[in-house]
């Protein structure tokens, strides 16, 4: 591996670590601001940062452009909301493992190779192991939220590709993030109330936005210039492992050997699926 590729791998791993540290910080703030309050703060600060960087132009937008941005913003709000609602009830590693099934299934569906069924079988085995042989031991509502986040992530990939084809640079993402922030605002006010006006909560919300969105996205952009998209997607498949480590180190969330085996199987399935997919990869997530 060349030094350039090695540094790109480090950027991807650092981005994943920042993302999970941000998720852990958001989790610690749930008692004060609630999961939907944290979603509102994360999207709002991410939007402000992206709008300041991209400075997108609003003139000349077609109805199709606006529709694509609004749809992407809605998906962003729903995906992050369901992820944080799941995180409130499930361990971080378990939540991310279930969520990553969304892009995994999309990769398998997009692939026309027979090996895709092998990865599907491995993923299914991993999900069964994750439940320790009995999903009733996991919070059922948390599992439902995480499954919804997984489906939303698949829609995120499709919506992101649509916006990326219509807008230059970060313009589409910045506008979509602003739309997502507006969608999440009433739910954030309902969940957090006056806590959204506290200076300490606002500051920590900005930190969550930086760790969960801004820094990882910047590192991913640098890495994508140095790695093939397929290799980058394989590295992103390590998200459940980094989430499990962050949950253990930062939140004291342990796991059984069966849960660890389940996470490992899902990671292997994700790596195999993205390698086998013939279409270009789109990434990103909570």
pLDDT interval class at 1 (50, 70, 90) = low
User: Is pLDDT above 80 for 250?
Assistant: yes
Q: What pLDDT score does 284 carry?
A: 56
Instruction: List, for residues 217-227, the tens digit of each pLDDT value.
Output: 878 777 767 77
Q: Pick the more confident residue, 252 or 233.
A: 252
Instruction: List, for residues 50-103, the tens digit of each pLDDT value.
Output: 899 889 888 888 999 999 999 999 999 999 999 999 999 998 888 888 888 777
Cα 66 off chain centre by: 23
CA dihedral over 189, 191, 196, 197, signed as positive or negative = positive
What is the pTM for the complete model shown?
Answer: 0.84
pLDDT interval class at 114 (50, 70, 90) = low
| Residue closest to 85 by CA, chosen among 18, 201, 184 | 184
**What 8-state DSSP symbol labels residue 281?**
P
Q: What pLDDT score does 281 carry?
A: 43
Query: Residue 238: which residues within 8 A CB-CB, separation 6 or more?
Result: 13, 16, 267
**What residue spans define the domains of the chain?**
3-276
């Amino acid at each position: 591996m060349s030094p350039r590729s090695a540094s790109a791998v480090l950027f991807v791993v650092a981005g994943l670590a920042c993302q999970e540290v941000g998720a852990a910080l958001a989790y610690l703030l749930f008692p004060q601001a609630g999961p939907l309050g944290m979603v509102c703060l994360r999207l709002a600060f991410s939007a402000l940062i992206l709008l300041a960087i991209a400075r997108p132009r609003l003139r000349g937008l077609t109805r199709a452009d606006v529709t694509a941005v609004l749809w992407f913003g809605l998906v962003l709000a729903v995906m992050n909301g369901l992820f944080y609602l799941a995180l409130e009830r499930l361990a971080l590693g378990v939540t991310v493992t279930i969520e990553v099934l969304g892009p995994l299934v999309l990769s398998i569906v997009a692939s026309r190779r027979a090996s895709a069924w092998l990865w599907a079988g491995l993923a299914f085995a991993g999900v069964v192991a994750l439940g320790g042989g009995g999903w009733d031991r996991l919070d059922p509502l948390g599992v439902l939220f995480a499954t919804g986040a997984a489906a939303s992530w698949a829609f995120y990939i499709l919506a992101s590709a649509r916006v990326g084809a219509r807008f230059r640079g970060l313009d589409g993402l910045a506008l979509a993030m602003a739309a997502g922030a507006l969608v999440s605002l009433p739910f954030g006010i309902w969940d957090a109330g006056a806590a959204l006006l506290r200076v300490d909560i606002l500051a920590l919300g900005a930190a969550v936005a930086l760790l969960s969105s801004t820094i990882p996205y910047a590192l991913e952009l640098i890495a994508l210039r140095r790695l093939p998209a397929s290799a980058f997607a394989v590295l992103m498949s390590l998200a459940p492992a980094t989430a499990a480590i962050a949950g253990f180190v930062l939140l004291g969330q342990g796991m059984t050997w069966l849960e660890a085996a389940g996470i490992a199987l899902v990671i292997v399935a994700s790596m195999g699926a993205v390698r086998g997919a013939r279409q270009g990869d789109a990434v990103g997530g909570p």
